[in-house]
Amino acid sequence: MSILEVKNLVKFYGNSPALRGISFDVPPGKIVGVLGPNGSGKTTLIKIIMSLLSGHSGEVLIKGLPPGTEANKIISYLPDVGHLPPWFKVFEAINLFADYYTDFDKPRAEQMLTSMKIPLDKKIKKLSRGMQEKVQIALVMSRRASLYLLDEPIGAVDPASREFILDTILRNFPEDASIVLSTHIIADIEPVLDIAIFLKDGEIILNDEVDNIREEKNTSLDSLFREMFRNEWDILQ
């Protein structure tokens, strides 16, 4: 069974289409990149999977379950904006996850944060944005979930920290689980991806295994992304 199935998913905001009938599957054990510029529909897709948005058509199944309370029990979600109470100390955020999620591995979270040199007794609001991102990633990856949804997981961290964070993600998800991550930062994320889905204006314009893309296009994923989204990339820079 696929971890995630998306079938003919359509979403409008008023008269503006955000997703235009997209379909794809995510098999177990894969890291899938949903790649596209801002406004391409990445966050809309993830929020629908998390049942945070309604008013769409098509079908989404997470291990056979529709989006909702039961499906969310097997999804570990990192939103694109900070979601931890800023007045919490780091160890209080750990305890919050431990109380709320039955699949949360508290010792693993503490070990990861210690290896990242994050002080557990410091308030979230006193940490830099990059350090806050590291805390959130450590907490999310310390759950024993079936699907990890990571929305722009390295967008707020400096380039020197990205390799460490990606290594943390790789080492801390179960072999029978899958990761779906969205980003427009391709160069750093490319080495860890198994499958790439290029999303533009709410449509999938490419969906294939990364090795196949490199072989068929005779270029890196990053170079292909820059070429396909040249105008949008100039804006992002």
* Residue 107 CB partners (closer than 8 Å, separation 6+): none
Of the pLDDT bands very low, low, confident and very high (cuts 50, 70, 90), residue 30 is: very high
Residue of 4, 7, 15, 22 lying closest to 202 (CA atoms)? 22
pLDDT at 199: 94
At what angle are helices 129-141 and 90-100 packed, to 10 degrees? 30
CA distance 210 to 221: 7
Fold for the domain defined by 4-228: Rossmann fold (3.40.50)
pLDDT at 170: 81
Q: Domain extents for the chain? A: 4-228
pTM, rounded to two decimals: 0.91
Mean pLDDT of 41-57: 94
